[in-house]
């Protein structure tokens, strides 16, 4: 049962969230955001460290003499999208930048948990509050790890959350194993021989070759990936140096791939290179394939999923917790942490249909549903209470 005092706290969390929303910043540019986060954590009496992995913030709260250490993570960055929200009082004040993925809400949830834990002190051990930069580009977690995050701030386990439009507000979903996919980016450059559009027999047409490659890439998932495993190959850009009456000499194809396990990542990369080189060679063209690994798959640890589910059930009831939710092919930088320490990631429904919070992520009209701030904050706090239980009173 939430107390009157906690209702007052929730009003403060909404104000914090709206403040973050008004002043969004993209990856590794979260200076104002980091200042605000660090100031609030210091106000709560936590030990705060700045500049981890660029603009990241880590705060620690120790209660009692327990040796267990639990990490709780929120992301801080916004997207380069212009907000379309007439009449929204807390709309972005920065044209071309908005919190279209709800990281403003994730920060407010975690700050709310810090406030609850600092006030209740109903655990025995240490909590690390990790505020990560540059999640959208898949580089922030790696930057924090490279900056010695786990050596400087050791953690036994780490937990994170993402709001999810399309799911009922306040409902949880998670699963053991792969929850979200990796993301790899590719750039295919095809070099042919351009010429007059009226004389196609004198050219090596990279546009036709590129079209053949786009179609051939779709066979990777259909004919090379085990049907029991998830994978996506998407070509998203097709650019040439030609004009209306000139066949181009160069074509650049860009896109990304998604998969849920490292061996599928490796397969996608190898097959893409083989297909591109083979097709270009058959037509007398040349090509290069740049393939980069942006996001690791988010693969939950079974023991930590059990903890996350129990905490969610304690907060919202078992009927609002799906412990075997289907995986999705979107990516999340939290997966990089799970390659190094145990942990679990969960979804919290942001709203569905025409309800508040139902607008999709990365949409100019999206907004985080303030009604789930308390759910997320109490879930984080309950995780700590269960994982680092206070000793019985003497």
Our answer to whether residue 370 is catalytic in this structure is no
Q: Please report the DSSP string for 212-268 in residue order.
A: HHHHHHHHHHHHTS-TTS-EEEEEEEEEES-BTTEE-SEEEEEEEEEESSHHHHHHH
Pairing of strands 69-75, 125-132: parallel
Report strand pairing: 298-300 vs 177-191: antiparallel
Nearest to 130 by CA among 150, 146, 116, 115: 150
* Cross-strand bridge partners of residue 291: 186
3-state DSSP call for residue 10? helix
CA 381 → CA 44, 47, 146, 314, 392, distances in Å? 15, 18, 28, 11, 19
Query: Do β-strands 298-300 and 231-240 pair in parallel, antiparallel, or remain unpaired?
Result: unpaired
Q: Are residues 310 and 346 in contact, defined by beta-carbon separation less than 8 angstroms?
A: no
Residue 114 near residue 61, CB atoms below 8 Å: yes
Neighbours of 120 (CB within 10 A): 13
Task: Provide the pairing of β-strand 172-173 with 321-322.
Answer: parallel
What 8-state DSSP symbol labels residue 202?
G
Q: Cα 95 from chain centroid?
A: 23
Angle made by CA atoms 369, 346, 159, in degrees to the nearest 5: 110
- What CA–CA distance (Å, rounded) separates 88 from 97? 15
User: Do residues 309 and 174 touch, judged by C-beta distance below 8 A?
Assistant: yes
- Please say whether the beta carbons of 179 and 327 come within 8 A: yes
Name the active-site residue from 135, 157, 184, 332. 135
Kindly tell me the sign of the dihedral angle through the C-alpha atoms of 300, 111, 52, 181: positive
Whether 324 is a known active-site residue: answer no
Half-sphere exposure of 151 (CA within 13 A, CB side): 5
Q: Kindly name the residue from 77, 83, 156, 184 that is annotated as catalytic.
A: 77
- Per the CB < 8 A criterion, the answer to whether 121 and 62 are in contact is no
Give catalytic residue positions.
77, 135
């Amino acid at each position: 049962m939430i107390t009157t005092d906690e209702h007052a706290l929730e009003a403060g969390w909404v104000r914090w969230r709206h403040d973050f929303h008004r002043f969004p910043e993209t990856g590794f540019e979260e200076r104002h955001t980091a200042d605000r986060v660090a100031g609030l954590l210091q106000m709560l009496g936590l030990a705060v460290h700045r500049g981890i992995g660029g603009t990241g913030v880590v705060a620690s709260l120790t209660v009692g003499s327990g040796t267990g250490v639990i990490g709780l993570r929120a992301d801080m960055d916004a997207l380069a999208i212009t907000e379309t929200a007439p009449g929204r009082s807390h709309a972005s004040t920065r044209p071309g930048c908005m919190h279209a993925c709800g990281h403003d809400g994730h920060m407010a949830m975690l700050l709310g948990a810090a406030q609850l834990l600092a006030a209740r002190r109903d655990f025995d051990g240490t909590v690390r509050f990790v505020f990560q930069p540059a999640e959208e580009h898949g580089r922030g977690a790696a930057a924090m790890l490279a900056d010695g995050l786990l050596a400087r701030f050791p953690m036994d386990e780490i937990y994170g959350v993402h709001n999810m439009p399309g799911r009922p507000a306040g409902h949880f979903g998670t699963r053991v194993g792969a929850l979200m996919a990796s993301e790899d980016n590719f750039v295919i450059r095809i070099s042919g021989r351009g010429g007059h559009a009226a004389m196609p027999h004198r050219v090596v047409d990279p546009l036709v070759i590129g079209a053949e490659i786009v179609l051939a890439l779709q066979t990777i998932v259909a004919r090379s990936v085990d049907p029991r495993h998830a994978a996506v190959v998407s070509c998203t850009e097709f650019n040439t140096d030609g004009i209306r009456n000139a066949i181009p000499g160069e074509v650049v194809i860009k896109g990304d791939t998604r998969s849920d396990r490292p061996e599928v990542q490796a397969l996608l990369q190898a097959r893409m290179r083989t297909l591109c080189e083979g097709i270009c060679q058959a037509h007398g063209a040349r090509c290069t394939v740049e393939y980069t690994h942006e996001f690791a798959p988010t693969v939950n640890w079974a023991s930590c999923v059990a903890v996350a589910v129990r905490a969610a059930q304690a907060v919202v009831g078992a009927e609002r917790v799906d412990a075997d939710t289907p995986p999705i092919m979107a990516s999340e930088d939290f997966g990089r942490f799970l390659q190094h320490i145990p942990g679990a990631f969960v979804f919290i429904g942001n709203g569905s249909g025409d309800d508040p919070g139902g607008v999709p992520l990365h949409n100019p009209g999206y907004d985080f549903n303030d009604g789930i701030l308390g759910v997320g904050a109490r879930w984080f706090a309950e995780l700590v209470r269960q994982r680092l239980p206070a000793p019985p009173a003497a």
